[in-house]
Amino acid sequence: GAAWYETGAAMLPGTGGDGLLNYFVVPWTLVNNPLPLIIVAGVEVVLMYLVETYRQAGKGPAGYAPGLGFYTEAEFTGLDPLYPGGPLDPLGLATDPEVFDELKVKEMKNGRLAMMATLGFAFQAVVTGEGPYANWSKHIADPFGYN
């Protein structure tokens, strides 16, 4: 058993693996189709380029929001492109501009806090050689002896 942060290394060349990824996973099984890592990365870069080009051009099928149904880009006319609201705000949280500005700040602060927490998990894994769950369970078992 490897630690959680070492599991991907088994699939990379020079680390004991064969450098191939069994990339295609369906909910009930793992389909055996080993692909070289460079091919997988290349295909993903090309697909992301196509998706982002498609999005930037403003073309595409209608979106869908529960309770609203299908909508087109006309729903976003006059809205802030970074925080559009409209059909993407089914709870109506963006109707009051003051509350909406406060929610934007809270979103940024929560995102930054989450990034720092993830960085903390990574440092913890490097220092202790174990994952966060293993460290937490040892701390719960002996709070004063394992900090």
Q: What local confidence, expressed as pLDDT, does residue 116 receive?
A: 96
Q: What is the pTM of this model?
A: 0.49
pLDDT tens, the chain, 147 aa long: 567 666 666 655 544 455 566 555 565 665 666 667 778 789 999 999 988 887 777 666 667 776 777 777 777 777 776 676 777 787 888 888 898 889 889 999 999 999 999 999 888 888 888 888 888 899 999 999 887
CA-CA distance, 145 to 135, in Å (whole number)?
Answer: 12
Q: What local confidence, expressed as pLDDT, does residue 108 receive?
A: 92
Q: What local confidence, expressed as pLDDT, does residue 15 receive?
A: 46
Q: What local confidence, expressed as pLDDT, does residue 9 receive?
A: 63
